[in-house]
Amino acid sequence: MKNELFLRIISSIILLPISLFFIIKGSIVFNFFIMTCFFCYNYRMAYDIKK
């Protein structure tokens, strides 16, 4: 449990600046980022459902 919390905090620290960069950059780069996040989320949900 503690290890999972640590990994979530680290991933948030890494993803926050990347997300802000794509939001500020905007347009096609932002759309690509949103699509990538969407596909990663769907992959993870499919993996969790199969478990």
Predicted pLDDT at 1 = 66
3-state secondary structure of 26: coil
Residue 13 pLDDT grade (very low, low, confident, very high; cuts 50, 70, 90): very high
Q: Burial level of 30, CB count in 10 A (0-12/13-18/19+)?
A: middle
State mean pLDDT over 26-51. Answer: 87
More confident residue, 22 or 12: 12
Q: Show the tokens assigned to 30.
A: 């932002």
Q: Look at the chain and report how many structural domains it folds into.
A: 1
Predicted pLDDT at 51 = 72
Mention every residue, 6+ apart, whose C-beta is less than 8 A from residue 29. 22
Tell whether the model's pLDDT for residue 42 goes beyond 90: yes
Question: 33 lies in which domain range?
Answer: 2-50
